[in-house]
Amino acid sequence: MDIIQVFNLVKVYDTGGDAVHALRNVSLSVQKGEFIAIAGPSGSGKTTLLNIVGGLDAPTSGTVQVAGRDLGKLSPKELSDLRLNRIGFIFQAYNLIPVLTAIENVEYILLLQGVEKNERRERSARILEEVGLGNEINRRPKELSGGQQQRVAVARAIVSEPDIVLADEPTANLDQKTGAALIELMRELNRKKNITFVFSTHDPMVMDHAERLVSLRDGVIESDERKWRGHAASKRPRKHQR
């Protein structure tokens, strides 16, 4: 079952001078439970694609369907509800609330969802234990390392068990060992909870762990290669023409 469907997506930014074409007629389908990397150099359009799929930005033209809902037909409240209840976000800059502790940052999503206090505290503590931060729940972001902050961000993204997690360059600010541990953690969560993970990345390690690798360049999908258990299913990835 396709949980994400993108049809002929175009995104043009008006910079006041020459228009910047971030995406050019991109079409893509993602099945429930996939672990997929959107790869490409800086400026290739991968973050723009994730932002549009997550409803954080709107396309210039084209259609995006997430969990069967056409994002372009949703009201602002409906779009906000979809993001809150169906999509988890992991940002490159972590985006933790500095005055809140680790567990309070994780709880915040459940608070917005109206989950009762004791239940949200229990679920948040459990998920922080799962990501290896059971002893750090009362520390604020500035008291945590970069890797620990990113793990809090992962816990926050998955505590409500969303259908989809969108992760923008999740290893960009981490050393190789910490980044590898984080990706393996998310791979395990993908297997256990069947959460769909979509990454934007230019990190070869993330690409290697992905079950499917979509390569973007200049806003165009150059190739789309599916793998199985770390090995390429085909030596001839699909080519997408402009």
Domain borders along the chain are 2-239
Q: Report the greatest alpha carbon distance in the chain.
A: 54
pLDDT tier at 220, thresholds 50, 70, 90: very high
In 3D space, the residue among 135, 139, 49 whose CA is nearest the CA of residue 96 turns out to be 139
CA distance 28 to 32: 13
Do residues 170 and 90 touch, judged by C-beta distance below 8 A? yes
Nearest by Cα to 184 from 170, 172, 173 = 170
SS3 of residue 6 by DSSP: strand
For the whole model, what pTM was predicted?
A: 0.87
Encode burial over 4-36: b for 16+ CB neighbours within 10 A, e otherwise.
bbbeebebeeeeeeeeebbbbbbebebeebbbb
Q: 78-131, pLDDT tens digit by residue? A: 999 999 999 999 988 889 999 999 999 999 999 999 999 999 999 999 989 988
Give tens-digit pLDDT for 149-204.
Answer: 988 998 999 898 899 999 998 888 778 888 888 888 888 889 988 999 999 998 89
> Which residue(s) pair with 66 in the sheet?
4, 69
Q: Which CATH architecture has domain 2-239?
A: 3-Layer(aba) Sandwich (3.40)
